[in-house]
Structure 1
Amino acid sequence: MKFEKREQQILAAQKGSNQVAVRGFNERLVLDLVRKNGALTKAEATRLTGLSPNAVSVIFRALENENLLLRGAPIKGRIGQPSVPMRINPDARYYLGLKIGRHVADFVVIDFTGQVRSVVSTTYKYPMPDETVAFARNNLPSLLKGAGLEKEQISGFGIAMPDELWNWTMDFGAPKSKMEIWRDVDLSRELSDLGPWPVYRENDGTAACGAELLFGPHQSTQDLLYFFVGTLIGGGIALNGSVFRGRTGRAAGFGPMRVPVSTPGKDRLVDYASLSVLENMIERAGGDRFSIYGDENAWQENTGLVEKWLETTALGIAHAIVSSLSVIDFETVVIDGSFPPTVREKLVELVSRQLDQLDLQGIEKPAVEGGRWGPLARAVGAAALPLADEYVINQNTLMRH
C-alpha cells in the first residue's frame, strides 16, 4: 500500500509507545490507522506507529479476537511470507443516534464503519420534549428491525441537538413561551431507560463535524472548518485531527459571527446563511415554508428563491471563512446542510467563487469541499459519540495533560 507524504507527517505526531500501561492508546492508534487507510498490514502499522513488530502483532491479534478487525486476502508476490491486510469489521459494533432539530428529528443505526443501517425521521413546526421522547420510544422497534438487529446488539446511544432550544425562537417561527420548557429538560436522562447503553449528548453542529472527520474523506485532515446549514447555521472545528469542543462545548457555533453584508440591522451570519431565511422567502411568496424539509421536490419548485438565497448564503459563509482563517489557518473547509446534494454542490461552488473575489491578503485560500452526509450528518454524528469515546484518540484531550 502507498501512503501520502502528508499522512506520514501527521502520523509522526501520533507515534505509539511500547509500554504495556498505554496498550489502550496503542490499540486506538492502530484502529485509527486502519480506519483511515481502509486496510493495513502489520509491517505498515509497525512503520507508521513506531511500535515494535511484536507489539503490533499483539495488538492486531487482540483487535481481531475482539472482532474489531477482519483479515483480508494475503498479498502475494513479495519476499517472505505473504502480508495479510486487516480492515475494520463493519459488524463489530452498532450504535444509535438521535438528532433533534428545530423542524426535523432523525433516528439512525450505524455500524462500526459509519454506514447507516436504518433510519426513521419525522417533521414538525417546532420540537417539544414529550413528542421527542415519544418519537424515540415508539420508533426504536422499527428502527432496529430495519437494521436487522436486536436491542442487545447496540453498544451505545448518542443524542445531538442545538444548545438552548428556547433561544432564537423568532428565527424559526416557534412560540418562545412553549420553547421555554426545554430549559428544564434533560433528554439524556429522559431516554436513559431506552436500553442498557451509555447515553451521550452533544451539540448538533459539533456532532456533525465529528461524523465528517471520523467517517468522511477528511480523516487525514488536521485542521478543519465545518459549516452545517440547517434551520439555523452551525458547525464545528477540528484541530490536530480531533474535534475541538471549546470551553463550553459550543466551539464554531457560527450563528452570532458578524459578517459585512449591507442589510441594515442584520449583521450576523445566521441572518443570511440559514434555512429559516429561505423559509421566510418561500412564505412571503405564498408557499409552504416547511416544504423544504423532507421534500426534495420543493427545492425544484422554488428554484428562483433558492438561487437568490444561495447567493447571499455563499457570501456570508465566505466572509465567515475569511474571519476564521485570520485566527487559525484551516487547511480544509467543509460545507454541508439539510438540502439535496445538488444544492450542496452549488453552494460549495459559490462559496469558492466568493472567496476568489474577497481580499485574502495575509491568508491562504483553503480547499472548499462538500460534506458526505447531508441531512443525516447530525444523527450520524450523534451515533458516533460512544464509538469515538471508546475507540478514537482525541489529540486535543491529550494535549491538555
Structure 2
Amino acid sequence: MRGAVVTSISPGLSQKRVRDHNARLLLSLLLRHGDLPGSDLARLSGLSAPTVSDILRGLEADGFLKRGDPVRGRVGKPSLPMRIDPEGALSWGFKIGRRSAELILLDLAGAIRAERRLPYAEPHPDEVLAFLAAATAEICAGLSPRQVARIGGIGVAAPFELWSGDEVRHRSRTFRHWSGVDLRDRIAGFSDLPVSIINDATAACRAEHIYGRGREFSDYACFFVGTYIGGGIVLNNSVYEGRRGNAGALGSLRTVGPHGEGLQLVDAASIHLLEDRLSEAGLDPEALWRQPQDWSALARHVDPWLGRVAQELAGACLSTCAVVDFEAVLIDGAFPSSIRSDLVDRVRRYLVHQDSRGLILPRIEAGTIGAKARAIGAAAGPISSQYLLDTNVGMAIA
C-alpha cells in the first residue's frame, strides 16, 4: 500500500505506525459496514476528515479500494462511497479434515475465486501436501501475474492433534502419521508464502466474524458443529486465539452423560454421534456428506440427535457466558441450512428453561457461512494479519 503501508499493528510513536493502524481500521470498517463515504468513515473511526481522505486515496491507488457510484442527497454535493476492491488481496485457505482436504482461493471481499477438494479415507501427510502443491500451482496457472502477486499467504485450518480423535474412537481411518508433522516446514518446501495455522473451529469463527453474522456483534461465542464440535470467541471486535492459540476450545466444555459420567461437549453434541446412529440402523453415514446436503430422508434418526445437541448447546451457552458477558452466541455447522435453523430454534427454547441465575442470557443466532467456514476462515488469516485491525494486539511502545 503506497502511502498507507500495512505491516504490523504494533504501535510506536512514528507517523508510519499511526498511519498503518488507521489504514487497517478503515479497511476493517468497510468490510464490516459495506460501502461508505469518507464522512461516515471519519465519524465511525474518530479520525479527521482530511486524514481519512488522505488514507483512502492511498488505499485506492494501491488497489485495495475503488469508488462507488455517487449518492445524491438533498443538500450539497453528492457523496462518493468507497468500497473494497476484491482484487486488492487474495489468500489461500486450506482445510485439513477427517474426510477430505479442501483448498480455496479467497479474495478480499470474501468471495471464493477457485476451489479444489481431495476426498480420502486414510490420508497421509505426503498425499495431502502433494495435493496442496499441485492444486495451488494449477490454479495459479489460470491467474494473471497481478493476481498471483496479490496472494498474501496460506492459511491452514485443522483440528488440534488431528491424529488423536479417531484413535480414541477406534475408527479405521488413522491420522497417526500426522503426529509430529511440521506443516509450516513442509509447505515451505514448495511455497515461499507465509503460512498461518489455526484450529479449524476457530477458523470457522473467523469466517463468520469477517464475512458473516459476526459483523453485527462485538463480543460473542461461536459453536461450529462438525464431525467434532468446536468453537471460537470474539472479544472487542477481534477473534481471540489466546496465548497458545487454544482459546475458545468450546468442544472441551464439561457435560454429563446419561449415567452421570463426566463427558466433554465433543462427546455429546457432534455429528459423529449421528453417524453412529445411522450405522447402528444399518444405514450408510456417508449419506450425511453427499452434496448437496439433504438430510430430510434421515429425519427419523436426525431428530433425536438434534434434540440432544440442542440441550447440550443450551447448557454450553450458559457456561461460556459465565466467564465472559457475551452479547450473542452464533451456531453454525457442517449441515444443511434447514438443520441449522431447527437447531437454533431448539436452543432458544431450551435456554429459557435453564438455571440462569447470575447470568444475562445471550442472543442465540444462526451463522451464515456453513460447511466452507473452516476453509474461508483459514484463508482470512493472512488477509486479517496483513490488512485488518486486531484490537486484541497489545499496544506496547517500541
1:255 aligns to what SS in structure 2?
A: helix
**Is 1:235 aligned with 2:231?**
yes
- Classify 1:362/1:40 alpha carbon distance in 2 versus 1 (closer, same or farther; 3 Å): same
Choose from 35, 45, 63 the match for 1:39: 35
Corresponding residue for residue 258 of structure 2: 262
Listed one character per residue, the Cα deviations across residues 333-356 of structure 1 (whole Å, up to 9, x for unaligned) are: 111111111111111111111112
How many angstroms apart in 2 are the aligned matches of 1:274 and 1:252? 16
Corresponding residue for residue 313 of structure 2: 317
Aligned-pair distance for 1:143?
4.3
How many angstroms apart in 2 are the aligned matches of 1:351 and 1:145? 47
8 Å Cα contact 1:101/1:127 also seen in 2: no
Correspondence 1:143-222 to 2 at 5 A: 143-144=139-140, 151-170=148-167, 173-174=170-171, 178-222=174-218
How many angstroms apart in 2 are the aligned matches of 1:71 and 1:306? 48
How many angstroms apart in 2 are the aligned matches of 1:388 and 1:361? 38
How many angstroms apart in 2 are the aligned matches of 1:131 and 1:306? 34
Correspondence 1:1-400 to 2 at 5 A: 19-144=15-140, 151-170=148-167, 173-174=170-171, 178-265=174-261, 267-296=263-292, 299-398=295-394
Worse-superposed segment, 39-48 or 82-91: 39-48
Corresponding residue for residue 10 of structure 1: none
Aligned-pair distance for 1:301?
3.0
How many angstroms apart in 1 are the aligned matches of 2:103 and 2:75? 50
Percent identity between the two aligned chains: 38
Corresponding residue for residue 5 of structure 1: none
Aligned-pair distance for 1:20?
5.0
Aligned-pair distance for 1:174?
3.6
- Classify 1:148/1:338 alpha carbon distance in 2 versus 1 (closer, same or farther; 3 Å): farther
8 Å Cα contact 2:37/2:81 also seen in 1: yes
How many angstroms apart in 1 are the aligned matches of 2:334 and 2:131? 20
- Classify 1:77/1:255 alpha carbon distance in 2 versus 1 (closer, same or farther; 3 Å): closer
1:109 aligns to what SS in structure 2?
A: strand
- Classify 1:142/1:286 alpha carbon distance in 2 versus 1 (closer, same or farther; 3 Å): farther
Q: Which has the higher contact order (CA 8 A, sep 6+)?
A: 2
8 Å Cα contact 1:42/1:53 also seen in 2: yes
8 Å Cα contact 1:314/1:350 also seen in 2: yes
Q: For 1:76, give the aligned amino acid.
A: R
How many angstroms apart in 1 are the aligned matches of 2:372 and 2:212? 13
Stretches of structure 1 lacking an aligned partner (at least 5 in a row): 1-16
Q: For 1:60, give the aligned amino acid.
A: L
Aligned-pair distance for 1:274?
0.7
Normalised to the residue count of structure 2, the TM-score between the two structures is 0.89
How many angstroms apart in 1 are the aligned matches of 2:390 and 2:372? 23
2:352 aligns to what SS in structure 1?
A: helix
- Classify 1:321/1:127 alpha carbon distance in 2 versus 1 (closer, same or farther; 3 Å): farther
Worse-superposed segment, 69-78 or 336-345: 69-78
- Classify 1:173/1:167 alpha carbon distance in 2 versus 1 (closer, same or farther; 3 Å): same
8 Å Cα contact 2:293/2:335 also seen in 1: no
Aligned-pair distance for 1:316?
0.9
8 Å Cα contact 1:108/1:143 also seen in 2: no
1:191 aligns to what SS in structure 2?
A: helix
How many angstroms apart in 1 are the aligned matches of 2:294 and 2:55? 51
1:281 aligns to what SS in structure 2?
A: helix
How many angstroms apart in 1 are the aligned matches of 2:362 and 2:396? 27
- Classify 1:31/1:349 alpha carbon distance in 2 versus 1 (closer, same or farther; 3 Å): same
8 Å Cα contact 1:109/1:147 also seen in 2: no
Aligned-pair distance for 1:298?
6.1
2:110 aligns to what SS in structure 1?
A: coil
- Classify 1:278/1:398 alpha carbon distance in 2 versus 1 (closer, same or farther; 3 Å): same
- Classify 1:21/1:289 alpha carbon distance in 2 versus 1 (closer, same or farther; 3 Å): closer
How many angstroms apart in 2 are the aligned matches of 1:326 and 1:87? 39
How many angstroms apart in 2 are the aligned matches of 1:173 and 1:342? 31
Aligned-pair distance for 1:212?
0.8
1:201 aligns to what SS in structure 2?
A: strand
